[in-house]
Amino acid sequence: MPSTKKITAATVRADFNDPVAVVHYARAAHFMGLWASERVLIERHFTDQSAPLLEAGCGAGRATLGLWDAGYHNLTAFDFAEELIDQARSLATERGAAPIRFLHADATALEKCHVIRDTSFGGALFLFNGLMQIPGRKNRRAALGELHRVCAPGAPLLFTTHDREQTQVERALWRLEALRWERGEQDPRLLEFGDRYFEEVGTGRTFMHLPDRTEILADLAATGWTHTFDALRKTVAAESRAVRDFSDECRFWVAHKN
């Protein structure tokens, strides 16, 4: 009988520590680096290359090593999946980027990590939808609040989400999903409308919350961030086939600490 147990942070962490996911994200860290769109927005909003930056949900270090190669050398990156952090550390050593601080930490409880707690960061990033892989809106708000707390006034935050309302087909599918929720016929493992839990060959199991725009704007405002920009990735830069195969279209968000 299929499981009806609700997805928790422990489910997500176990899915990212799974060897299938570890190989997937380690390969991206070795061969992909920053997406063209990430590079554009990072250069635009993170103008001080010497400022201490914090990358949440860094995985095996795909974007972290890309930031290092782009000249950002005061980097602290963390993830709650130990296997991915191990991969990131060994890749950084191999690439001469050992000064990057790769830490094991949970975005919803940064006070437990003294290195992060005791630094005032000049900017934060939570790339490739990592924030949306935190189950439960109150927990995603907790993560936004924690990032706000450890950032200096004026610091930028860059993150991405999938967009529930992006295409007509998606809007129709979500209307069907809304009917399932009304009837109580949704996947019982999901916590909130907008959640998905699926498995793909070569990637493993993925939990993802797909928000609408109102939700993100409200969550930023509730956690002290001022929304300054959002746009679909395709309007920021054209991506290679490899990037489009690795990740579907997404929306970039930029906010600044009040």
Ligand X SMILES: C[S@@+](CC[C@H](N)C(=O)[O-])C[C@H]1O[C@@H](n2cnc3c(N)ncnc32)[C@H](O)[C@@H]1O
Beta-carbon count within 10 A of 4 CB = 8
Count of CA atoms in the C-beta half-sphere (13 A) of 215: 18
Q: Rounded to whole angstroms, how far apart are CA atoms 178 and 1?
A: 24
100 is a contact residue toward ligand X (CB under 6 A)? no
Asked if 197 contacts 205 with a C-beta cutoff of 8 angstroms, the reply is yes
Choose one: 50-58, 156-164, 192-200, 236-244; the region binding ligand X (CB under 6 A): 50-58
Determine if 146 is a binding residue for ligand X (CB under 6 A): no
Please name the helix (run of DSSP H) or strand (run of DSSP E) that holds residue 246, with its range, or none: helix 241-246
The first and second tokens of residue 80, run together, are 């709650």
Q: Which of 22, 42, 92, 127 binds ligand X (CB under 6 A)?
A: 127
Return d(Cα 246, Cα 229) in angstroms, integer: 24
| Helix (H/G/I), strand (E/B), else coil: 25 | helix
Q: Does the protein bind ligand X through residue 81 (CB under 6 A)?
A: yes
Looking at the Cβ atoms of 74 and 206, the one nearer to ligand X is 206
Q: Per the structure block, which two tokens stand in for 140?
A: 């995603």
Quote the CA–CA distance of 60 and 83 in Å, as a whole number: 8
Virtual torsion, Cα 221, 11, 208, 74, nearest 10 deg: 60
Q: Is residue 147 part of the contact set for ligand X (CB under 6 A)?
A: no
Quote the least distance from Cβ 84 to ligand X, whole Å.
5
Instruction: Please choose, out of 9-17, 151-159, 194-202, 236-244, the segment that lies near ligand X by the rule CB under 6 A.
Output: 9-17
Closer by beta carbon to ligand X, 160 or else 225 = 160
Based on the shown chain and the rule CB under 6 A, indicate whether residue 92 belongs to the binding site for ligand X.
Answer: no
Among 53, 67, 75, 84, binds ligand X (CB under 6 A): 84
- Least distance CB 38 / ligand X (angstroms): 9
Total residues interacting with ligand X, rule: CB under 6 A: 24
Task: List interacting residues with ligand X (CB under 6 A).
Answer: 9, 12, 16, 25, 28, 56-59, 62-63, 79-81, 84, 106-108, 127-130, 133-134
